[in-house]
């Protein structure tokens, strides 16, 4: 999402505000009272109260929460056209593999995640992050077909909510780690960093037997698409400073602050 995606509820539903059409395709706006979801650019006759507005990463996530599509802005048709365009790109087209999506609003979220047919986590993306594409588009590019199935996402949702509440410090759910041997080795090394602790790029590279490969480790770290669970937020610069994090350093700082509070509590 762009920086504009961090706008407040008031900004999104203010009838006098400038158009937020640039957010179409990155976020879905739902209304608790009407149980309807819309594109951010939709302008219904009656504005919902700010406290009744909720956000979703996609139409599939909104439907999973029991909402139905708006008949004014037709969000499903809009997303279908976007997905068709992505599938026709020079990257991977859909292969029929399903990715079942769900969202969590609890701090240190909000974020969306997706699991495969076996319940293995394949993607996680923060809803207030700065990403080039929505999670739906990313999954489509990787050959998945976004879908919803609360039974399939139940285990991942339970463990993620336990992390958010401070009740869980290590994950046991299966992970779909797809990459080169080096990338997978780096991601697995990240999962071995204890909750609330940090390591430098050099330290992780050394632990993998390549002490001079700090930059290569950093590149592999940047390709991690399951943040939080594969905790790339535990990696810091040689000075201890927070460095690159897909979606924005504000998310990395928030995750580390959350874990520090849990340990202190």
DSSP string, 144-206: EEEE--HHHHHHHHHHHHHHHHTS-SS--S-B---S-HHHHHHHHHHHTSPTT--EEHHHHHH
Q: How far apart are CA 148 and CA 100, in angstroms?
A: 5
Q: Which residues contact 111 (CB under 8 A, 6 or more apart)?
A: 103, 104, 124, 125, 126, 127, 228
Residue bearing tokens 């990787």: 142
**Among residues 42, 73, 164, 232, which one is catalytic?**
232
**What is the full DSSP assignment across 187-200?**
HHHHHTSPTT--EE
**188 vs 91: CA distance, rounded Å:** 26
User: Is the separation of the CB atoms in 13 and 53 below 8 Å?
Assistant: yes
Is 38 marked active-site? no
Residues labelled as active-site residues:
232
């Amino acid at each position: 999402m762009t920086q504009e995606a961090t706008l407040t509820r008031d900004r999104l539903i203010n009838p006098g505000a400038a158009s937020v059409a640039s957010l179409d395709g990155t976020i879905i706006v739902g209304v608790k009272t009407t149980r309807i979801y819309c594109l951010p650019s939709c302008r219904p006759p009656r504005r919902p109260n700010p406290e009744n507005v909720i956000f979703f990463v996609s139409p599939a996530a909104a439907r999973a929460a029991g909402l139905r599509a708006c008949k004014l802005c037709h969000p499903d048709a809009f997303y279908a056209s976007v997905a068709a365009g992505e599938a026709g790109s020079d990257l991977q087209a859909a292969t029929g593999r399903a990715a079942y999506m769900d969202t969590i609003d609890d701090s240190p979220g909000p974020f969306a995640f997706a699991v495969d047919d076996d319940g293995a986590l394949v993607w996680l993306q923060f809803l207030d992050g700065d990403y080039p594409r929505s999670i739906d588009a990313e999954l489509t590019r990787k050959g998945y077909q976004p879908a919803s199935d609360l039974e399939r996402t139940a285990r991942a949702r339970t463990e993620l909510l336990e992390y958010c509440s401070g009740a869980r410090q290590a994950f046991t759910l299966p992970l779909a780690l797809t990459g080169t041997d080096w990338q997978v080795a780096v991601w697995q090394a990240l999962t071995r960093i204890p909750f609330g602790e940090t390591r430098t790029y050099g330290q992780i590279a050394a632990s993998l037997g390549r002490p001079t490969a700090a930059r290569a480790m950093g590149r592999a770290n940047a390709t991690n698409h399951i943040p939080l669970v594969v905790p790339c937020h535990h990696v810091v610069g040689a000075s201890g400073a927070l460095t690159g994090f897909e979606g924005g350093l504000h998310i990395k700082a928030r995750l580390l602050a959350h874990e520090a509070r849990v340990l202190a509590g």
